[in-house]
Amino acid sequence: MAIRKILFDGEPILRKISKPVVVFDKSLVELFDDMQDTLDKQQGAGLSAVQVGILKRMFIILDGDKPIRVVNPEIISSSGVCKTTAEGCLSVPGKWGDVERPNKVVVKYQDQNGNFVDNTFTGFTAKTFCHEFDHLNGILFIDKATNLFDTYEEYHRFKQKQEKNKK
């Protein structure tokens, strides 16, 4: 297992559409293991293969503390609106903003062994799933974000001011 280099906004591969995984073998599991190590080191909530330079439709998300390995995902349906929280990205360090995401997603994907999985995610996990799903289609969160700031502190001050103005 190894830490992979995360690519940053401006790298052309991040804007490409990832290709479906067709071979489920030891090298796929090893890539997931490397991605897990990389995600753990960066303390992120999700990481797609394209962010480490691999144009495959696969990512890891955390559901609480539990990592979920996702291959060839499909979003079957979505509903609601996830409470707006600061969204950031390991490939766009320092940027924070609001992105409207569904509060619930019904999804279908394969696990690292090729088995099909039907699942439903809500709240932050649904938001993370959609964020990583966007990566597979060449979309970065900054493409959808409003109230985009260069630091979390700036974003936080802005949100506090918004809350104060509502009162």
DSSP conformation letters of 95-145: -EEE----SEEEEEEE-TTS-EEEEEEEHHHHHHHHHHHHHHTT--GGGT-
Look at residue 18 and tell me if it is in a domain.
yes
Look at residue 67 and tell me if it is in a domain.
yes
Write out pLDDT tens, residues 100-151: 999 999 999 999 999 999 999 999 999 999 999 999 999 999 999 988 999 8
Look at residue 1 and tell me if it is in a domain.
no
Q: Give the range of the structural domain holding residue 104, as residue numbers without chain letter.
A: 12-166
Which of 87, 132, 153, 163 is catalytic? The answer is 132
Instruction: Report the percent of the chain where pLDDT is more than 70.
Output: 99
What dihedral do alpha carbons 25, 19, 73, 27 form, nearest 10°? 20
The number of folded domains in the chain is: 1
Look at residue 4 and tell me if it is in a domain.
no
Bridge partners of 119, per DSSP, are 107
Tokens of 110: 């394969």
CATH of the domain at 70: 3.90.45.10
Look at residue 130 and tell me if it is in a domain.
yes
- Quick one: pLDDT at residue 163? 82
Write out pLDDT tens, residues 14-24: 999 999 999 99
- Quick one: pLDDT at residue 33? 97
Look at residue 105 and tell me if it is in a domain.
yes
Bridge partners of 77, per DSSP, are 106
Active site residue 132: yes
pTM, full prediction: 0.94
Look at residue 55 and tell me if it is in a domain.
yes
Look at residue 2 and tell me if it is in a domain.
no
Q: Are 91 and 51 in contact (CB under 8 A)?
A: yes
pLDDT mean across residues, the chain: 94
- Asked whether residue 83 carries a pLDDT value surpassing 80, the answer given is no
